[in-house]
Amino acid sequence: MTNPTETYYPGLEGVIAGETGISTISGGLQYRGYSIQDLAEKSTFEEVAYLLIHGNLPSESEFGSFKSRLASARAVPDAVYTLFRSLPTDANAMDVLRTGVSILAHHDADTGSNELDDSIAKAERLLAAIPTLVTAWARIKAGSEPVAPRSDLDFSANLLNMLHGAEPAEVERHALDVSLILYAEHEYNASSFTARVAASTLADLHGAVVAAIAALKGPLHGGANEKAVEVLEEVGTIDNAEPWIRNALETKRLVMGFGHRVYKDEDPRATILKRFCLEISPDRNATEWEEMATIIEKVMWDEKHLPPNMDWPAGRLYRMIGLETEIYTPLFVAARITGWAAHIIEQHSGNRLIRPRSNYIGPEPRGYVPMSERG
């Protein structure tokens, strides 16, 4: 019973669903007016986090205060560790992280407030604490004790230190830092839009972030970086790369890490990360993986005109710096919390309940028949 004057766009593709001053992909990906290339090359993740949450790049004094606030908010309540230790070790890391954020909501005095200053403060505290949640679960699952956060390390170095129990090499810290910058924000992606829908009901920041984490868990969104690594593990050798990908295309197998709803020719984030992969692969015994990846990329482009998206090189990069596959998507959360928080705050600032319509394709109107008269 579709109204012929209305147009249906599956997946809302191409639909303008709102206005934002946070990021745009028009003319190249930009965060609040700054190109992603400049930010990846010249900035740090902490500085980009400030930009997204506060709206502008910080002055030296603002940045110093911001870093101090993050460092002081990295510790989490003991209740988090108690609960994590009680969970089955085969629990999904994203489900555990979602639960961890819910626990933090109970321990945050500003949880129920949507006032601007309170929301910014909550966003900073979540940004600081999420790496602690991610690494604590990874270590507990592995049978190790969580490593306490350190206030003398930057965001990425502290995260890797908590994960591995040792300070990372600079190449590892820098690679992770750049990846977090690139993952931080991406307009009205599925999880950010989910966060805005929740926020539009005037749900609080923690609640909207929990909703976003649930959306990001899906393999068509955040989980794609994990699947991209599984592809290369299955391919195995350079000689098998082209036969494997051609067979995958012939059998209509979905190859994760390629194509994007918005980027039709190039994902600029993938281009930046591939450069990092090529740079560090010789020292990480990963040149074969890069050659396999290049062969697969060429066939996908030649046959399907699909470019690699960011998840394709991100999975390889994380593997090169010694990260377990299960932690890839939680690391996405550690970055994207900045974009989510910005969207939630922006939604609350000029809120209108997001309530779209649907095309009804069910039965025509029919009369109710009592149960005793139904054949």
- Residue spans of alpha helices (H) in the chain: 36-42, 45-54, 60-72, 78-86, 93-106, 116-141, 155-164, 170-183, 190-200, 205-216, 224-235, 238-250, 268-280, 287-304, 311-320, 328-349
Phi, psi dihedrals of residue 186, rounded to the nearest 5°: -160, 60
Tell me whether residue 106 is one of the annotated catalytic residues.
no
Of the candidates 54, 49, 51, 77, the residue with the CA atom closest to the CA atom of residue 155 = 49
Give residues with Cβ within 8 angstroms of 16, minimum separation 6.
none
Tell me whether residue 311 is one of the annotated catalytic residues.
yes
CA–CA separation, 267 vs 136, rounded Å?
32
Catalytic pick among 206, 260, 343, 348: 260
Catalytic pick among 108, 110, 177, 311: 311
Of the candidates 26, 243, 253, 43, the residue with the CA atom closest to the CA atom of residue 154 = 43
CA–CA separation, 39 vs 320, rounded Å?
23
Catalytic residues: 260, 311
